[in-house]
Structure 1
Amino acid sequence: MAWSAENATKAFLRTLKLGNKAAEPDVAAFVSALAAGSGSRLLVDVPAGPAGPTMLALLTAAQQTGGRAACIVRGPEELRASIEFLGPEHAARVNLVVGDAARLLLGGGGLGGADFVLVDCRLENHARVFGAAQASAAEAGGGFVVVRNAALCDLPAVDGSGRGLRVDLLPIGGGLRVCRVPTAARRSQWVVRVDECTGEEHVFRITSPRKKWIEA
């Protein structure tokens, strides 16, 4: 992932200008700058309730990178509250989806391959969503999975040794767990084909993506 300081700065400043809607300016500005600076193309917010300031932050980043912003909520009540919070203009630019976040991140509803996912640790099934988000980012060719309110829950340590995975816990807001996910690892397989006419053997090396990811 190539880093763009210009995109990060612009997204950071635009998020700060959101004013009262950005009730968590440190968290919102940070995730907006991180998503924009890394050039994320599909940015997904998975809040514990309806969409909030962080969704606006990801929308700002998506506008900077030319990407798409989505928000996965649990039910119709959260959907209505999300639309009310975002307002008509912003709501029209966000793909608001109701459903199982883990399933959707693994390919359902066109949200597979998200390269930036923000998960609220107050979600009842946050560990499952965290694992699915890592798989989604890996399949996208690498990306970020950020857990907010990380200080409020007991997520097990993630061992990224040998996988290129980097995890940092930052004292921002209720704690941000930033997980940089590399591209999906690939395994090699040798295939031998015999030319029926000449009898010559041809050896090919093919790769296939591994479907494993690190569970939280």
Structure 2
Amino acid sequence: MGKRGKEPDVAEFVSALAAGNNAQLMVMACASAAGSTAALALVAAAHQTGGRVVCILPGPSELQASKDALGHYANRVEFVAGNARTLLLNDFKGADFVLIDCDINDHKGVFVAAQKGATGHVGALIVGYNALHKGSWPGSELRAAKTHFLPIGEGLLVSRSTNIGQKKSHRWVVKVDKCTGEEHVYRITSPNKRQWIEA
């Protein structure tokens, strides 16, 4: 079973998050050319939800490399070149799933821009991958925005947009199956009000 048996596959996890959130507009901010793994995760989710996938590239020179990496799936992705921060705050404001490569320049600024762009869109998910590459966590900007770090792959940062008046707390629970070594990650959400459960 090797490494895969001990650690969830990042692409499968991201795809499940997007599909489970029934995302209709999925935006991916790339550090360079779109990698096939992350982009295909969103293409798979879009296939389930009927949504669209937009890939923000740093410039037009990455376009052909992205299309080559995705092969025949490239026609299921809309490619846009430009500044990820600006595009997330304007053109793609209200995206319900944003995937950010933390190797991108100013990754924290892009993450915060995605969070601001999702304001008012309750339930929108912002996910950063390769979070351990530049020491993206911990960071005061991201901690203030209630971003959670998950030790999956090269590290994932996950944030969900909520109503300002919504008072719910949540936590991530990681359980390892002792027989198979598989790691299961659960998100538990509950109101801040303490509830007593009798057995």
Give TM-score scaled by structure 1 length.
0.66
State which of 42, 51, 67 in structure 2 corresponds to 1:67. 51
CA distance in 2, matches of 1:49, 1:177: 19
- Name structure 2 gaps, 5 residues minimum: 1-7, 166-199
Structure showing greater Rg: 1
Aligned AA (1:107): N
Q: How does 1:1-216 map to 2 (within 5 A)?
A: 26-52=9-35, 53-87=37-71, 89-108=72-91, 111-155=92-136, 156-157=139-140, 158-159=142-143, 166-183=146-163, 185=164
Q: How many residues align?
A: 154
- Give per-residue Cα distances to partners, 1:84-113, cap 9 Å, x unaligned: 1112x31111111101111111123xx221
Aligned-residue identity in percent? 47
User: CA contact under 8 A between 1:115 and 1:136: conserved in structure 2?
Assistant: no
How far the C-alpha of 1:125 sits from its partner, in A, is: 1.5
How far the C-alpha of 1:139 sits from its partner, in A, is: 3.5
- For the residue of structure 1 that corresponds to 2:9, the secondary structure is helix
- For the residue of structure 1 that corresponds to 2:126, the secondary structure is strand
Q: CA RMSD in A?
A: 1.8
CA distance in 2, matches of 1:26, 1:136: 28
How far the C-alpha of 1:150 sits from its partner, in A, is: 0.9
Give TM-score scaled by structure 2 length.
0.71
CA distance in 1, matches of 2:45, 2:99: 13
CA distance in 2, matches of 1:59, 1:133: 20
- Name structure 1 gaps, 5 residues minimum: 1-24, 187-216
CA distance in 2, matches of 1:48, 1:85: 14
- For the residue of structure 2 that corresponds to 1:132, the secondary structure is helix
How far the C-alpha of 1:167 sits from its partner, in A, is: 2.9
User: CA contact under 8 A between 2:121 and 2:162: conserved in structure 1?
Assistant: no
